[in-house]
Amino acid sequence: MKRYYSHYTFIYPNIYLKNYIVEVDDSGQITNAFPFISEIEKTEFYSGLLLFHPEGIEVNLRDRVKSDLFINPNKSLEFTCKKYNITHIEDLTSYIY
């Protein structure tokens, strides 16, 4: 199992999280997500945005990130995919401005 923490997280198809830890099992399936309260041992930190998406799905968040979706994030956590790929976007300036 791996844990990932990022300032902003998007989980396909429509879960937007801010300051959350996402747990992924060895097969790539998300097993849990919970708010970051304090550091947890062996959690990988990524500055910026983490995208969790199925293989073969391109995620274009450029218009979505400009909205308030990460200001008022969606906390309905139903993980519909059996295996997620992870994409990291460190520089969000091109998305926000």
Token representation of residue 85: 């790929």
Residue 93: which residues within 8 A CB-CB, separation 6 or more? Answer: none
Dist. CA 11–CA 4, nearest whole Å = 12
Q: Which domain holds residue 64?
A: 2-95
The number of domains in the chain is 1
| pLDDT class of 97 with cuts at 50, 70, 90 | very low
Query: Nearest-5° angle of CA 16, CA 66, CA 84?
Result: 35
User: Does residue 52 contact residue 86 with C-beta atoms inside 8 Å?
Assistant: yes
User: Does residue 83 contact residue 27 with C-beta atoms inside 8 Å?
Assistant: yes
Average pLDDT, whole number, for the chain? 79
Between the ranges 15-19, 23-27, 56-60, where is the mean pLDDT highest?
Answer: 23-27
Dist. CA 12–CA 48, nearest whole Å = 17
Q: What's the pTM?
A: 0.75
- pLDDT tens, residue by residue, 20-55: 999 999 998 999 999 999 888 999 999 988 989 887
